[in-house]
Structure 1
Amino acid sequence: MPVDATEFAAALGQYAAGVCLLTVRDDIDDVGTTVSSVMSVSAAPPLVAVGLSAEGYPAEVLGDVGSCALTVLAAPHGIVASRFSSAGRPSARHLLESVPWSRASGSGGIVLDDGLAALDCRLERLVEAGDHVLALLAVEDVPVLNPDARPLLRLRGRYVDESGSPLTRP
């Protein structure tokens, strides 16, 4: 018997996940998307995997460009996460007008200076996985590391802090 899609989504929503911003710089613009399906794959060599919608523009651009930056978002980035998860969003730079950022040296992707961490990555391969693709990324640099920052988490369909409390507006 097939699993009910609503029950499946509700079950996975019980799992608190870190929230990241994936950005790709191509010749035309900067593309970004919020992702919470991120996992460490290997320490030697350093690899991470990121789940992206197979039909989404970020996966298409990443496949063409072959590199990206991934910022692990801090609790104050709840608004940034919301902006980058909405449909029809403008250029990544326009969504970050009041947020300090810089470019990763290898990929040229945008990294948030006050994120928990940022990874500068090269695409190893895209793996089809149902309605998503898994982007297997080789980590080439860690341009941001703020171990004292508080994490942004996604739990039960909402952005929360490390205690599970809903975020408040700054």
Structure 2
Amino acid sequence: MTDLPLVEALPMTPTVDPDRFRSLMSTFPSGVAVVTVTDPDGSPRGMTCSSVCSVTLDPPTLLVCARSLSPTLHAMLKTAQFTVNLLHAHARDTAELFASGAADRFDRVRWSARPAYGGPHLVEESHSVADCRVARTVEAGDHVVVFGEVYGIERCAPAVPLLYGLRAYSSWRPGTEPS
């Protein structure tokens, strides 16, 4: 590994208002995922997450961001594993359900769990699923960035992803031009 030189930080200026920042980020569409984990007591936990991205291919690693107070995050940290369910274009209701915080969310969708999984798989709602081991965490404001080393992948349906941007859900089909 190469040691990179540290760059001297510029003087701090006041940060922008959180609402302005939220407005800025709403213009950047992203895929939608439901991050799941099985709590040590056996209870499934899950949350909708659009803060998911790849980090490195070797080892295969992705990251997710979760609120510091999230029960899903706390279960991820206790079990040191999780699953990222990448939702397909027809899974908007599931995205909204897992964003709502409804206590009965796992009673309202079909899911499967096996000992080898990082968390429940939402196979009917996902185009792809990645099982991950927690490799590292970084606290960032009111969130925690969780780096997950991917140890399993399942392809569930044709990859037509559900997207979220401009405060609305949409989808994108490869080979189509934007309107």
Is the pair's TM-score, using the shorter chain for normalization, greater than 0.5? yes
Q: Stretches of 4+ moved more than 4 A in 1? A: none
Percent same amino acid at aligned positions?
29
- Show the counterpart of 2:56: 42
Instruction: Read off the aligned partner of 1:132 and give its amino acid letter.
Output: H
Indicate the structure (1 or 2) with the bigger Cα radius of gyration.
2
Instruction: Read off the aligned partner of 1:23 and give its amino acid letter.
Output: T
The 5 Å alignment of 1:1-170 reads 1-26=14-39, 27-87=41-101, 89-96=102-109, 99=110, 101-103=111-113, 106-114=116-124, 115-146=126-157, 148-162=158-172
Query: Taking structure 1 as the reference length, what is the TM-score of the superposition?
Result: 0.86
Equivalents in 1 of 2:118, 2:141: separation in Å? Answer: 30
Q: How many residues align?
A: 158
Instruction: Read off the aligned partner of 1:143 and give its amino acid letter.
Output: E
Whether the 8 Å CA contact 1:29–1:91 is kept in 2: the answer is: no
What do you get for the CA RMSD once the two structures are aligned? 1.7
Pair 1:104–1:161, CA change in 2 (3 A)? farther
Equivalents in 2 of 1:125, 1:94: separation in Å? Answer: 31
User: Secondary structure of the residue that 2:90 maps to in structure 1?
Assistant: helix
User: 1:64-90: per-residue Cα shift (whole Å, max 9, x none)?
Assistant: 111111110001110000000013x22
User: 1:110-161: per-residue Cα shift (whole Å, max 9, x none)?
Assistant: 1122412100111112210111000100100102353x33210011122212
Query: Taking structure 2 as the reference length, what is the TM-score of the superposition?
Result: 0.81
Give unpaired runs (5+ residues) of structure 2: 1-13, 174-179
Give unpaired runs (5+ residues) of structure 1: 164-170
Whether the 8 Å CA contact 1:30–1:92 is kept in 2: the answer is: no
Offset of residue 95 of structure 1: 2.9
Pair 1:152–1:142, CA change in 2 (3 A)? same
Offset of residue 61 of structure 1: 1.0
Offset of residue 106 of structure 1: 2.1
Offset of residue 92 of structure 1: 4.5
